[in-house]
Amino acid sequence: MLFISSSSASLHRPRRLAGLFTWLLTGTLLLGAASCATLPRPRGVGMGAAFAVGTCVNVGKLQANAAYRTTIEREFSSVTAETDMKMDVIQPRLNTFEWTKADALVRFARQHRQRVHGHALVWHGSTPKWVEQFPGDTAAWDGLLRQHIQTTVGHFKKQVKAWDVVNEALEGDGSLSHTVWYNHLGPSYVARAFRYARQAAPQALLFYNDWDIEGEGAKLNGALALLARLKAQGIRVDGVGFQLHTSVGASVGTVSAAMQKVAALGYLVHLSEVDVELNRQGQLGAATQPPAEALAQQRQFVRDLVAAYRQLPPARQYGITFWGVSDGDTWLRGFKHHPEWPLLFDEQYQPKPAYEGFREGVAAPVVAR
Comparison of 246 and 297: residue with beta carbon closer to ligand XIL: 246
Q: Diameter of the chain by CA atoms?
A: 78
CB of 284 to ligand XIL, least distance (A): 21
For residue 73, the one-letter residue type is E
Comparison of 209 and 297: residue with beta carbon closer to ligand XIL: 209
Q: Rounded CA gap, 290 and 278, in Å?
A: 8
Comparison of 117 and 303: residue with beta carbon closer to ligand XIL: 117
CB of 262 to ligand XIL, least distance (A): 17
- Residue 222 neighbours by CB under 8 Å, 6+ apart: 170, 171, 173, 174, 175
The pair phi, psi for residue 275, each rounded to 5°, is -145, 145
Q: Rounded CA gap, 200 and 205, in Å?
A: 12
- Helix (H) / strand (E) element for 319: namely strand 317-322
Q: CA 304: distance to chain centroid?
A: 19
**Interaction site with ligand XIL (CB under 6 A):** 82-83, 120, 167, 243, 273, 331
The answer to whether 77 touches 41, Cβ cutoff 8 Å, is yes
Comparison of 270 and 316: residue with beta carbon closer to ligand XIL: 270
DSSP 285: T
Q: Rounded CA gap, 343 and 322, in Å?
A: 7
Q: Rounded CA gap, 10 and 15, in Å?
A: 9
CB of 86 to ligand XIL, least distance (A): 7
Q: Rounded CA gap, 252 and 302, in Å?
A: 9
CB of 273 to ligand XIL, least distance (A): 6
Q: Rounded CA gap, 109 and 102, in Å?
A: 11
CB of 345 to ligand XIL, least distance (A): 16
60-81 burial, b at 16+ Cβ within 10 Å, e below that, comes to eebeebeebbebbbebbbbbbb
Q: CA 339: distance to chain centroid?
A: 25
Comparison of 57 and 248: residue with beta carbon closer to ligand XIL: 57
CB of 323 to ligand XIL, least distance (A): 6
The pair phi, psi for residue 91, each rounded to 5°, is -130, 75
Is the bond leading into 307 cis (omega within 30 degrees of zero)?
A: no
CB of 188 to ligand XIL, least distance (A): 22
Paired sense of beta strands 245-247 and 317-322, if any: unpaired
Residues acting as catalytic residues: 168, 273
The answer to whether 243 touches 293, Cβ cutoff 8 Å, is no
Comparison of 39 and 81: residue with beta carbon closer to ligand XIL: 81
Comparison of 112 and 333: residue with beta carbon closer to ligand XIL: 333
